[in-house]
Every structure is written in C-alpha cells, then in structure tokens.
Amino acid sequence: MFLFHVLREALESIAREFRRIAPMAAGIVWGVASVFLLTAIGNGFERTQRQVIEAFGSDFLLLRTNKPTHSRSDPNALRRIMVDEEDIARIRAQGTAIDRISPKGYQWRAQGVRGRNTTWLNPVGVDPNYPEICNVPLEPGSRWLDAKDVESEVPVMVIGPKARQDLFGDDPAIGEKIKLTVRGSDESPYVREFTVIGVIRDVELSDDFYVSNKRAGFVTYPVFERICEKGAGFMVMKPKGRERKEEALAQVRAGLAERYHFDADDENTVLPYFDAIGRGERIDRVFGGIKLFLGAVGLLILLLGAVGVANVVLMSVTARTFEFGLRRAVGCRRHWIFVQVFLEAGLVCGLSGVVGFLLGLGSVELVSMLPLPRGFAKPIADVGAATLPAVLLLAVTIGAAFWPALRAVRLDPVEALRGGHL
C-alpha cells in the first residue's frame, strides 16, 4: 500500500507540473533518440568495415617485393625481386615470428573459355596452406588445393564467383573443364586445360583488386611457374600474434636479403601492400573515438534536460514545503519523502527515456528502409546500440532526482510549519 500510495502521489505531482516538465522531458527524449540512432549508425558502419576485412582474413599481410638496393652498375638493380619456393622455404626455416607464409603469384587477365562462354580471370599461384592465412570460403562440394596436386602438378583450379558466373552461369562447375590462355611477352601463348575442383563463395564487400577473389583462378605454385616463369612478386604472411607483425616482417626481409644482396633493414624492399592487421587496428581506434564523441554529445544533451527536470521538481518541492513539514510532524519518516521526490524525477526521466528509445528505434527502422549511398552501412539496432544511451540516462536520472529529494528530507519540520523555505 505504501508504494502504491507514493506512486500515486508522484504521478499526481507530475500531472500538476506537466506544462513545466514537458519541455525538459522533450529534451531527454530527443537526446536518447539521437544517441540511439547515431550509435546504431556507427555500429552498423563499424560492423560493415569489419566484414570487409573478415571477407579476406583479419590476421594477414599481403607483401609486395620491390627492386633491391644495389649500385647503379649492377644490372640486377633494375629488376624487381621475384620469389620462388626456395625463398619461401628459407623464410619458413628462419622466421620464428611467422606462423604461415605462401607465395602469391599473379598473371593478369588470362582468358578462360568453356564452350561458347569466355571471360578473363587471373591465375594465382599459391601453396596449399593459403586458406590458413587468408579467408577462402568455398561453395558446397568444393575442395581446395592439396599436397598431391603439388607433387603431381595436376592442372586443377579453384575459381572465383565472378569467373564461375561468366563461364558456367547456372550450370554446375565442379568437375568441369575450362581452357586457359595466357599471353606472355613472346608470341606463343600458353594454353592448357584445367579441371575446376572448387568455387569460392561470394562474400566480398569490397573491390580491393589485389586481394579480391572474384576473378581469381587459384592453382598450385608449381603449375603457376609453368604459366609465369618469372616467379611471384607477392607473398601472404600470417604472424604469430598481431603484436609480432613487425618482427615477422623483418624476418621476411632477412630471409631474402642474403640471396638478393640488399640491406635487411631496407623497408622499401618488401612492403605490406594490404595490411589486414593494421586496418583492424585503425577501425578500433576510429570507432572508439566515434563512440566517445557520441557519448559526450549525448551526455551533454541529456544533462541539459536533466537540469531542467531537476529544477522543476525542486520548484515543486519548494511549493510543498508546508506539506512536507506537516507530514514530518505527524510521524512521516525521512526516507518516505525521499522516495516520493526521487520517484517523481525518476519517473519523468525514465518515461522520457522509454519514449526516446522507441523514437530512436523507429528512426533506425526508417533509415534502414532508405536507399543509402555506397559505403554507408545500414544502422543496426541491437543491445550494443542501446547500452550507451541507457547508461547515460541512468546517470542523468540519478543526478536529476537525488538533489531535490535530498533537499526535501533535510527540511526542518518546525521551519516548514512556520512557512519557511528550503
């Protein structure tokens, strides 16, 4: 009965002061809805950026080799380093900070033919451990390159989703053959028939050319050396922990320095061309800063509303000085008065927060239905998006309710009955 009575009186007090409270409560509604919407937009964009990275793999580096540092009289100074299996084996043996490494040889714009269908694809030579470094999700029924394919140099290929669509359409691709034509620097093209053993699922959200698998045709590295005898100008490497990235990169350079006669400290000789680890760290920093900014803006908006609510509740308490004094004189305990006044401010902030959440949720749904420009992700209304405004609202509610309630319980009954003021 006590709680019901206190709640009823709190609601009656709010109704009496509604005209004064409404503008302040509207500020809280706007603040909560704004923070909820902005946080949902930030979460959606952050998740999309992480999915872009995870589509390729989140813990690897695509390394590009450049020209070694030699004197001008050395003809090798004009040649770019092209690694082979011997280089990769040496790096594996010496690289204590390297978890996995594979060559990645490219041959641009080869022609693939299947019946009357033609397309261009990029033959890519890798080791069988490539999926342990990068993300290569396969369609059902597919398999990846294995050690037997390397040993026997079987002409098998795993193709990307775009190449598969161009060559096969809706027909099955696994087990079918395609003819690959590669035109080199000489006049005689390389022509060979390959059996498709796998198709890569289309999970990419970015068109980053050097890591995209959409038009790739993965083959074993020994087969790739038949297609392109000059070797691989790229490698993919996964360090043993993100914190050992620079150590692993230095070990890659050291593994090549002796054979190609360059200074192992020359960072320009082997460069990260695509750094998934670094991109993930930048995403953490950028969106961490965005969340702090949104929190500061939301807190400021909510505090302005809370100050107004606290002021209105305090005015209501002041107008009821005699009432509180009379209650104290007839035996009403201090905590009863504290609970009633606290409940009044808490109800205003709490109800305003609920309305703000509902308004923010509706705004998220509305924005999700709108056509957004490329690169802008749809907002995601989840528990994470509600956490920040909920915490801010809780802090604001306590701040808005505590001071008026504390002033009320400190009231001296004698002074109140004489018409004294708070």
Q: Is 21 exposed, middle or buried (0-12, 13-18, 19+ CB in 10 A)?
A: buried
Confidence of residue 1 (pLDDT cuts 50, 70, 90): very low
The residues that bridge with 352 in the sheet, in sequence order, are none
Confidence of residue 16 (pLDDT cuts 50, 70, 90): confident
End-to-end, the C-alpha distance of the chain in Å comes to 29
Residues 371-385 have a mean pLDDT of 69
Of residues 162, 213, 220, the one with CA closest to residue 194: 220
pLDDT of residue 218: 96
pLDDT of residue 398: 74
Residue ending a domain, among 165, 200, 217, is 217
Where in the sequence is the domain holding 388, given as residue range(s)? 2-53+281-417
Strands (E), 127-170: 156-159
Residue 92 scores a pLDDT above 70: yes
Same domain, 153 and 28: no
Residue-wise pLDDT for 292-321, tens only, equals 887 777 777 777 777 776 777 667 666 666
Residue 422 scores a pLDDT above 50: no
Residue 379 scores a pLDDT above 90: no
Residue with tokens 């390159």, as numbered in its chain: 145
Q: Can you read off the two tokens belonging to residue 322?
A: 């005699």
Which range among 108-112, 288-292, 300-304, 324-328 shows the weakest confidence by mean pLDDT? 324-328
Same domain, 413 and 295: yes
Q: Is residue 225 part of a domain?
A: no
The residues that bridge with 237 in the sheet, in sequence order, are 61, 101
Element (H, E) at 192: strand 190-199
Residue 368 scores a pLDDT above 60: yes
Residue-wise pLDDT for 170-179, tens only, equals 899 999 999 9
Q: Is residue 31 part of a domain?
A: yes
Same domain, 357 and 290: yes
Q: Is residue 240 part of a domain?
A: no
Q: Can you read off the two tokens belonging to residue 94?
A: 């010496």
Q: Is residue 157 part of a domain?
A: yes
Residue 402 scores a pLDDT above 80: no
Confidence of residue 150 (pLDDT cuts 50, 70, 90): very high
How far apart, in whole angstroms, are the C-alpha atoms of residue 93 and residue 240? 14
Residues 94-123 have a mean pLDDT of 91
Same domain, 389 and 286: yes
The residues that bridge with 119 in the sheet, in sequence order, are 112
Q: Is residue 352 part of a domain?
A: yes
Number of domains present in the structure of the chain: 2
Residue ending a domain, among 182, 217, 252, is 217
How far apart, in whole angstroms, are the C-alpha atoms of residue 348 and residue 13? 11
Q: Is residue 339 part of a domain?
A: yes
Residue 76 scores a pLDDT above 60: no
pLDDT of residue 417: 56
Residue ending a domain, among 194, 217, 240, is 217
Residue-wise pLDDT for 39-60, tens only, equals 888 888 888 888 888 888 889 9
